[in-house]
Structure 1
Amino acid sequence: MRVRYGAGMTSPLRVTAAVSKVLAAFLEDPAVDRYGLDLMRASGHPSGTLYPILLRLQNAGWVEAYWEDIDPVQAGRPARRYYRLTPDGQASAYAEIAALQAQLSRGLGAAKPATKPATA
């Protein structure tokens, strides 16, 4: 869970397990723009967790967002806000997910096997 700074990034980002789930959802198909409900389903996060993460990703320059250009009356639903990884965000997301996987695999390999207590 490193804090990253980079070109165009306005604030540091701490990549937690919750953030990594959102990044993994984006990386399922980085070329596809995602909206909130879609990301909630993919990450398993409720809106109260997801939207603050998306805001942090935007502030860090990893994600950009835009409002869908539709007529809500004609579409029969409100306009959606779409999110997309920036090129820097995509590269950083791949690096952070790989680092997290490496850290987890090292942690699993270092764990001592459980032993049964000695019986008398």
Structure 2
Amino acid sequence: MTRVRQPSPQTAAVLRALAADPAQWRYGYELGQQVGLKAGSLYPILIRLADRGLLEASWETDPPQGRPPRHLYRLTGAGLQAAQALAPAATPAPRTRPEPRGAW
């Protein structure tokens, strides 16, 4: 029996960001900026998603002079299905201050 786990909020954010335009190749740095993740959190997520067949990863073919090629990522068909299956992003309830209690 295979257990299906819900992705972490960070993984879900990455999937949603990629699902906004699933055919477009994206740079890791750009994704990190969009979803608010640092490299130490983002790249392990991208590697896991690629290992599970939810992302395609490729090297940039024509980097500008003097810059090494970068990795590019985009969703596979299975990745797009996984992104679409996610529950809509929950919006946090607004914080309110508790009403002050009456004097003792």
The aligned amino acid for 2:102 is T
* Corresponding residue of 2:27: 35
* Corresponding residue of 2:102: 119
Matched length: 99
- Which digits, 9 at most, give the CA deviation of each residue in 1:15-37, with x for residues without a partner? 11111111121122111100111
Identity %: 39
- Which digits, 9 at most, give the CA deviation of each residue in 1:56-100, with x for residues without a partner? 111111101011223x6x62211011111001100111111xx25
Shift of 1:115: 5.4
| SS of match in other structure, 2:58 | strand
Is 1:61 aligned to residue 61 of structure 2?
no
Is 1:81 aligned to residue 66 of structure 2?
no
The aligned amino acid for 1:79 is P
Higher helix share: 1
Q: Which runs of 5+ in 2 are unaligned?
A: none
The aligned amino acid for 1:51 is Y
Q: What TM-score results when the alignment is normalised by the length of structure 1?
A: 0.69
Aligned counterparts of 1:119 and 1:69: Cα–Cα separation in 2: 69
| SS of match in other structure, 1:75 | coil
Higher relative contact order by CA 8 Å / sep ≥ 6: 1 or 2?
Answer: 2
* Corresponding residue of 2:11: 19
